[in-house]
Structure 1
Amino acid sequence: MNLFISFDLVMLRTIYRHLFFLLLLFPVTQLSIHAQNLTGIWRGYFITNAGEKYKLEFQINGSSPNFSSGVSYSYLDVRFYGKATMTGSFTRDNKNLKIREIKTVEIKNMDGGGACIMNYDLFYEKSGKEEFLEGTFLGKPEVKGRPNPYSWGDCGGGKVYLRRVTTSDFYIEPFLRGKIKTTPVIINQPPIKKDTVKSKPTTPPVKKPVVNTKPVENKPIVKNNPPIVNKPKTDTTVTKINPPPIVKTNPPVIVPKPAVLKNRTNELMKSLIVTNRDIIVKLYDNGEIDDDTISVYLDNKLMLSSKRLSAAPLTIKFTIDEDDSDHELIMVAENLGRIPPNTSLMVVEAGEQRFEVRITSTEQKNAVVRFRYRKPD
């Protein structure tokens, strides 16, 4: 009898131990699922393979663990606007979100022609408090009322960049009401100028030179006729001496580092190797346009001063010298916009090469992109 009682006690202790372990795991599992909840508004843009940039917004209902639905808005100023319903699935292991537009429900195309629906292949990423969806898309012409004979890619493709935001440029869908926290828009007020009394500069009196008023005595002029001396004749033949050639050397111009580059941390975002010396850099606001303002330095020299990022690019062009193949471009945050931190997308074109770099800078940290020229093989 005592043996059975002892055995039951051991079993009960084992069961309690497992239950306690499961209770410890439960909050962690719930936290992980909550951290990857995609429900909300995601705004940014997509760039086609032809280089056209369209604004894009998703309103996602991710209430089901592995399933998402919602609507998408894509627009290009006043020329094009489209709204579509969409469905998709999210794989938590690799954080992959696949979205397929079902049909357009609103469309405006001033250029005429039909509409395309999109198939998105995106990946979720979190950096600090910022959340991103990035990936690619393929499009195909929309056909209504009959089977669609087209394939994904017949309408082209490109890259997608989205960031989670709390506001929408459009109608907020009912499934999002009460589920997202909205933040008030904060307008940056200009600093108040202090009234200062200007004081006139005091200049010391100018001392005039002392003028001697005593009359000048006129002394008689004595003419001295020097004796005539017969000088020996000298050889007047001039031998021309060619001086050694002067080689001009241009010392490197050292530009002093501005204080904003000394007092902040300069963090390397990316190093790019280019095979063309002519470089074009375009800077866009990455995600929601929230009044991010930046200054840009090239090798410590100011190129852009306090420029606002938007959907239209800020463009910098420069040529790399063959004798000095390394250059640094530094982005300085002049403010953090309405939604910190200051983020931008850099698109670099060097001949046929094209690079895209996502930039993040703060009031303590500058973003650095290095360029190195390498002669093509």
Structure 2
Amino acid sequence: MRFLLLPLLLGWSVLTHAQLLTGVWGGIRTQNAGGCFPTYSTELHIIYMQNNSFMGNVYSFDNDKYTKINFTGKYNPLTNRIVIIENAVLQYNVPDSCVPCIKTYELILSRNGQAESLQGEWHGHEMGNNHDCQPGKISLSRLGKSNFPVDVYQNDTLARMQKELKLQNRQKEVVQSIPIDTAFIKIELYDNAEIDDDTVSVFLNNTLLLYRKRLTGKPLVLDVNVFPNTDYELMMYAENLGRIPPNTSLMVITAGRKRYQLHLSSTEQKSAVVKFKYERGNK
């Protein structure tokens, strides 16, 4: 049994370490001679990760000059090697003589005690053409707080749906504010008491995560990655009131070893809201 348990523990260790890539990484990105700036400040936001694949946004900035570019990436837990490929420039403000660069990063994850770092090299091509950018190096460490707004992961289908939504203007009623000590939380939504066809949409920081889902005795489940020192607001918007008004639900939040059960009630005039914040070291 001892020999069977060891691979399982090693597998759990690898999985946990991989999951911990989510969050904010910040530092310096340099560029060889001939680039627009020899040194840029950089923030890497890994907002979603599953099975060693991840996605997020990268900010490069120097005073009022900046770019925001989304990316996808892969992590090899055996070698600690990371490859990040930028996809599309979302926002930018650069001098007229400069063109944003679409980059590929090759990084190594290292750990020294509690300190974690990502270091490596990058290369790329100019936005809109295949002209090579001057390559360079990058060195990042984990940050406790971002200098930029943190996006919530949303799949393409929900993003398209949200663009078409026309929500009523309703009052928000805060049910509870919860301090958490983990970057990963599980949220389960059940119908409260009698199942009467209550239907809800759920938003996290105004980002649609569930759309017109019926509440039953089987939970609607959300697995959420959260960033440290960032405020989160989960809102339950009633799409109908069911056969027995108001629209009621039981929300179960699992955060590490802690579990919270909340009874929520939403109407056509108000939406139930739960707030939470991940504070490292808050045990």
TM-score using structure 2 length:
0.51
Q: Partner letter of residue 174 of structure 1? A: V
CA distance in 2, matches of 1:180, 1:128: 23
Matches for 1:84-163 after TM superposition, within 5 Å: 84-143=69-128, 148=129, 150=130, 154-163=132-141
CA distance in 1, matches of 2:10, 2:146: 32
CA distance in 1, matches of 2:54, 2:120: 17
TM superposition shift of 1:58: 0.6
Q: Partner letter of residue 4 of structure 2? A: L
CA distance in 1, matches of 2:8, 2:67: 42
Residue aligned with 1:36, SS = helix
Q: Percent identity?
A: 27
Residue matched to 1:35:
17
Higher normalized strand content (fraction of residues): 2
Contact preservation (8 Å) 1:58, 1:72: yes
Gaps in structure 2 of 5+ consecutive residues: 154-182, 184-203, 205-223, 231-279
TM superposition shift of 1:49: 1.3
TM superposition shift of 1:91: 1.4
CA distance in 2, matches of 1:89, 1:182: 23
Counterpart among 39, 56, 61 of residue 75 in structure 1 = 61
Gaps in structure 1 of 5+ consecutive residues: 1-16, 185-338, 340-377
CA distance in 1, matches of 2:103, 2:80: 20
Contact preservation (8 Å) 1:166, 1:180: no
TM superposition shift of 1:112: 4.3
TM superposition shift of 1:39: 1.0
TM superposition shift of 1:182: 2.5
TM superposition shift of 1:29: 1.9
TM superposition shift of 1:76: 1.2
Residue matched to 1:60:
46
Residue aligned with 1:69, SS = strand
CA distance in 2, matches of 1:110, 1:173: 26
Residue range with higher mean Cα deviation, 53-62 or 125-134? 53-62
| Residue deviations 1:152-192 (CA, integer Å, cap 9, x gap) | xx1111110000112100011113886346359xxxxxxxx
Contact preservation (8 Å) 1:87, 1:102: yes
Number of matched pairs? 159
TM superposition shift of 1:48: 1.0
Contact preservation (8 Å) 2:82, 2:109: yes
Contact preservation (8 Å) 1:84, 1:102: yes
Matches for 1:288-303 after TM superposition, within 5 Å: none
How much is the aligned-residue C-alpha RMSD, in angstroms?
A: 2.5
Matches for 1:189-208 after TM superposition, within 5 Å: none
Residue matched to 2:228:
182
Matches for 1:142-291 after TM superposition, within 5 Å: 142-143=127-128, 148=129, 150=130, 154-175=132-153, 179-180=225-226, 182=228
Higher relative contact order (CA 8 A, sep 6+): 2
CA distance in 1, matches of 2:86, 2:229: 29
Residue matched to 2:272:
none
Matches for 1:305-320 after TM superposition, within 5 Å: none
Contact preservation (8 Å) 1:138, 1:155: yes
TM-score using structure 1 length:
0.39
Residue aligned with 1:110, SS = coil
Residue matched to 1:190:
none
Q: Confirm or deny that 1:49 pairs with 2:27.
A: no
